[in-house]
């Protein structure tokens, strides 16, 4: 894994691709070095959209003090990201049947182009410069021998995205489909994908159900959060329950992935702002129990999950369960931490910056490996 340092002189052009606007910029040594250029996405007109992408990067090029080394950015899927080919998109309907966006940009700018999923790049950025090193630093300061090398990042907003970093490497999958968390079954209605509950529309749907509103009249999640906090008039009990259900659905899906990844869990996206109301139920769900045919119950996961936004749980997480044991046949002692645990917490960087740092570092790593 290449960790971009403040002294690194290489420049990578980036793009924040939204459904309405595209925001172009450039990074060097983890920092943005130009004023962003914003252009309309033209998501319903492929020719206008592609010309706009070239125009945006060209404008950024003109602002740079020397030519860029690469282009790296997140773009919606489905896609064959390593090949730079974008498939049929919902938010940008002009993309249909396979559009060779990466090769087009390489032909035009004559530099390497790297495209990835935003959930993947969010996780990569947090693994490099955010949540993972921050937690490991706190463990070191607490005197714990425990260190984490794996990270599962989730983004909560319009969709339910994810990314996995294993020992410094981003898990992409053989079909650019790694960590597609949205497709896990919805805990409370297994006909549905988890995204139908773990997203903005899911929050609005549950609040509508609990209050008898038409879903089209259901308030936005920010308003539901304010109702739950007593800041805005509304059904406070229903709002609180809505966010608890949201946490339960998220926690169930995350527990399934954590059982495979066995690493820290970091949360980003617009809905992360309501974490104080959904994190307790999310972590409680991860720490839930399963029934056996014998009638006994077992823990849902091999490890215990701790809410690192809760000071008491964080203290227990950092303390662990250190022990000294005697090596059989000798008098020598060894130390180990008997607490098998993972921490769950919020982005240290903010979602946008984490994605940008992830895109920048991914490009540097690929450039270094190509030498």
Give per-residue pLDDT as tens, 25-72. 999 987 889 999 999 999 999 999 999 999 999 999 999 999 999 999
- Residues 41 and 74: their CA atoms lie apart, in Å, by 14
Q: What is the pLDDT of residue 91?
A: 83
Give the tens place of pLDDT for each residue, 212-248: 999 999 999 999 999 999 999 999 999 999 999 999 9
pLDDT of 186 above 90: yes
Question: Is it true that domain 131-348 has CATH number 3.40.1000.10?
Answer: no
Q: Which one has a higher pLDDT value, 30 or 340?
A: 340
Q: What's the chain look like in SS3?
A: CCCCCCCCCCEEEEEEECCCEEEEEEEECCEECCCCEEEECCCCCHHHHHHHHHHHHHHHHHHCCCCCCEEEEECCCCEEHHHCEECCCCCCCCCCCCEEHHHHHHHHHCCCEEEECHHHHHHHHHHHHCHHHHHHHHHHHCCCCCCCCEEEEEEECCCEEEEEEECCEECCCCCCCCCCHHHCECCCCCCCEHHHCCCHHHHHHHHHHHHCCCHHHCCCHHHHHHHHCCCCCCCHHHHHHHHHHHHHHHHHHHHHHHHHHCCEEEEECHHHHHHHHHHHHHHHHHCCEEECCCCCEEECCCCEEEECCCHHHHHHHHHCCEEEEECCCCCCEEEEECCCEEEEEECCCCHHHHHHHHHHHHHHHHHHHCC
pLDDT at 157 over 50: yes
Q: Answer whether residue 253 shows pLDDT above 70.
A: yes
Residue 47 dihedral angles phi and psi, to the nearest 5°: -60, -45
What is the bridge-based pairing of β-strands 264-268 and 333-337? unpaired
Q: Is pLDDT at 4 greater than 60 in this prediction?
A: no
**Taking the domain 11-116, which CATH number applies?**
3.30.420.40
- The pTM assigned to this predicted structure is 0.92
Query: Could you state, in order of their start, the residue ranges of all structural domains in the chain?
Result: 11-116, 131-348
Q: Which of 40, 62, 37 is nearest to 51 (CA)?
A: 40
Of 72-81, 134-143, 245-254, least confident by mean pLDDT is 72-81
Say whether 131-348 and 11-116 share the same fold. yes
Q: Which residue has the higher pLDDT, 317 or 178?
A: 317
Mean pLDDT of 197-223: 96
Q: Determine the pLDDT at residue 1.
A: 47
Q: What is the pLDDT of residues 304-314, one digit of tens each?
A: 999 999 999 99
For residue 371, is pLDDT > 80?
no
Please give the residue that has the higher pLDDT: either 2 or 271: 271
Lowest mean pLDDT among 174-188, 201-215, 275-289: 174-188
Q: What is the pLDDT of residue 143?
A: 92
Which is it for strands 333-337 and 322-326: parallel, antiparallel or unpaired?
antiparallel
Mean pLDDT across the chain, nearest whole number? 93
Predicted confidence at residue 3, as pLDDT, reads 55
């Amino acid at each position: 894994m290449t960790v971009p340092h403040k002294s690194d002189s290489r420049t990578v052009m980036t793009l924040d691709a939204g459904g309405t606007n595209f925001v172009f910029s450039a990074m060097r040594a983890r920092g943005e070095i130009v004023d962003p250029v914003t252009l309309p996405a033209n998501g319903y007109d492929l020719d206008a959209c592609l010309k706009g992408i070239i125009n945006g990067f060209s404008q950024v090029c003109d602002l740079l003090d020397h030519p860029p080394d690469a282009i790296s950015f997140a773009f919606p899927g489905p896609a064959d990201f390593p090949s730079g080919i974008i498939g049929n998109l919902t938010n940008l309907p002009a993309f249909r049947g396979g559009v060779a966006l990466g090769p087009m940009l390489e032909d035009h700018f004559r530099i390497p182009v790297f495209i990835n999923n935003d959930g993947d790049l969010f996780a990569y950025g947090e693994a490099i410069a955010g949540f993972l090193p921050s937690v490991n630093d706190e463990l070191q300061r607490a005197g714990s021998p425990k260190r984490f090398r794996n990270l599962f990042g989730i983004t909560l907003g319009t969709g339910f995205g994810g990314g996995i970093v294993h020992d410094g490497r981003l898990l992409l999958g053989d079909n650019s489909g790694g960590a597609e968390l949205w497709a896990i079954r919805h805990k409370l209605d297994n006909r549905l994908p988890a995204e139908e509950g773990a997203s903005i529309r899911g929050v609005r749907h549950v609040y509508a159900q609990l209050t008898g509103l038409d879903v089209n009249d259901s308030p936005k999640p920010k308003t539901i959060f304010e109702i739950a906090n007593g800041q805005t008039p509304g059904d406070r009990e229903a709002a609180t329950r809505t966010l608890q259900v949201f946490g339960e659905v998220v926690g169930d899906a995350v527990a399934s992935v954590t059982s495979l990844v066995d690493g820290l869990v970091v949360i980003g996206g617009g809905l992360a702002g309501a974490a104080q109301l959904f994190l307790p139920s999310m972590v409680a769900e991860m720490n839930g129990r399963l029934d056996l045919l014998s009638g006994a119950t077992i823990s849902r996961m091999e490890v215990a999950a701790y809410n690192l936004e809760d000071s008491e749980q964080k203290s227990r997480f950092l303390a662990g369960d250190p022990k000294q044991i005697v090596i059989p046949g000798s008098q020598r002692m060894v130390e180990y931490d008997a607490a098998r645990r993972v921490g769950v917490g919020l982005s240290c960087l903010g979602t946008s910056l984490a994605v940008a740092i992830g895109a920048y570092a991914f490009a540097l790593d690929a450039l270094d490996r190509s030498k």
